A = this chain, B = another copy of it.
Amino acid sequence: MRRLAAVVSAGMSKIGRRPELVSRELVVEAFMDAWREVRNLDRKDIGCVYVGSQSETYEHQIMYGTMVADWLGLLPKGSMRVEGCAAAGALAFRLAVMDVLSGLHEIVLACGVEKMSLRTTSQVTDALMAASDAALEQYNGLTFPSIYAMMTTAHMAKYGSTEEDLAAVAVKNHRNASLNPKAHIQKQITKEDVLSSKVVAWPLKVYDSSLISDGAAVVIVTRPEIAKRFTDTPTYVVGMGHKSDTLGLYAREDISWPSAVAEACSEAYSMAGIGADDVSLAEVHDCFTINEILAYEAAGFAHRGEGHMLIREGQPEISAKIPVNPSGGLKARGHPVGATGLCQIYEIHTQLTCRAGKRQVPSPKLGLAINEGGSNSVVATHIIST
């Protein structure tokens, strides 16, 4: 198993509605969280910063790369922002790994941030819709809840998944988040709470939907050979996948199957030389509950068309066969869009180094992160090992 790069430290802000902080301050909070865990490292050693962020709309700000380099005292080092809607965080992480692999720099920073709570829900829905096809989807009045609702009804009709199955995902993820002090929501919910919550786009309800959150996460990446200079407990990137699907849902053969997710998982497994059975835990992209069920199938935790059986059997619970979203996921840990992919890496690093407290997965060895943007239109996956 080839180590592509090492994670020296990961940090995350408290996720939630953070009216007291703007995006640059959220980044500082996340950075300090990571920084206090490293040694023998000066900020001058950081060669470049890659920042994932979704929208210029929320704060009328682009150039997040430069903003982060400036506010973290990393000038004059290079910086850039990367965007793939909700996959921006994992794409920033991918670039950090690629930079180290290329030999351009020894130590780089990946960062993700979003400040969403300044805007109303309808403004956020509009900003997110920019990730759908402007010419052919937005024009016809689609929103992401309605896009994911179509995927859901297709899966239900074809495979017999139910509203109760979706609800079970939400219940699990809220339970996990109740054990995560940095999660947006710590409130446990029942299946009945989900099923009786307001319908957004049938069969998806409020409690099937992820949160509108403020938050930031950062990961310090270096060459595997030098990682132990900076920490006793590095983790290692051993597999990566990166795939795209059509921008618009209308162009796909089977909307009950997230083909780019499956392909990005296969690519990462193949690079790491492992299979789905080797994974100890996964953080997956549950922007809506259906998408966690689709991820079970795409990641190979369940056969195609049988993802809902996995949750019925309780297998994705923290103490069960394949813990999925121990952090609480986008559903309850929260979904600061451009940061989400790095919140996933933060969780996996935290779990693999056994610092996850009450939500700790027992002795994990390999973690899989699946981060997706648009209608699962761009996907970046990472496999991280102890």
Kindly provide the distance from the CB of A322 to the nearest chain B CB, expressed in whole angstroms: 25
A38 at the interface (CB under 8 A from B): no
Q: Is the CB of B83 within 8 A of A374?
A: no
| Other contacts beyond A48-B242, A79-B84: 20, CB < 8 A | A56-B57, A60-B138, A62-B85, A63-B83, A63-B84, A63-B378, A64-B83, A65-B244, A66-B84, A66-B373, A66-B377, A75-B245, A76-B245, A80-B82, A81-B82, A81-B83, A83-B83, A99-B102, A101-B103, A101-B104
Q: How far is the CA of A377 from the CA of B63 in the complex (A)?
A: 9
Asked if A79 and B263 make an inter-chain contact with CB atoms under 8 angstroms apart, the answer reads no
Within the complex, the shortest CB–CB distance from A115 to chain B, in Å, comes to: 10
Most chain B beta-carbon neighbours within 10 Å: one of A65, A80, A102, A134: A80
Q: Which residues of B contact A167 (CB under 8 A)?
A: none
A interface, over-half SS: mixed
Contact in complex: B66, A244 (CB < 8 Å): yes
A contacts, CB < 8 Å to B: 22, 24, 48, 54-57, 59-67, 69-70, 74-85, 87, 91, 95, 98-99, 101-104, 127, 129-131, 133-135, 138, 242-247, 251, 259-260, 263, 373-374, 377-378, 380
Known contacts A65-B378, A83-B82, A99-B98: does B130 contact A75 (CB below 8 Å)? no
Residues of B within 8 A of A377 (CB): 63, 66, 70
Q: Cβ of B104 and Cβ of A63 under 8 Å apart?
A: no
Q: Are B243 and A76 in contact (CB under 8 A)?
A: yes
- Given A75-B245, A373-B66, the answer on whether A378 and B80 have CB atoms closer than 8 Å is yes
Residue among B67, B83, B99 making CB contact with A62, cutoff 8 Å: B83
Which residues on B sit within 8 Å (CB–CB) of A103?
101
Shortest distance from the beta carbon of A160 to any chain B beta carbon, whole Å:
28
Question: Whole-angstrom distance between the alpha carbons of A24 and B247 in the complex?
Answer: 11
Contact pick for A78, options B62, B135, B244, CB 8 Å: B244
Q: Would you give the shortest CB distance from A112 to chain B, in whole angstroms? A: 13
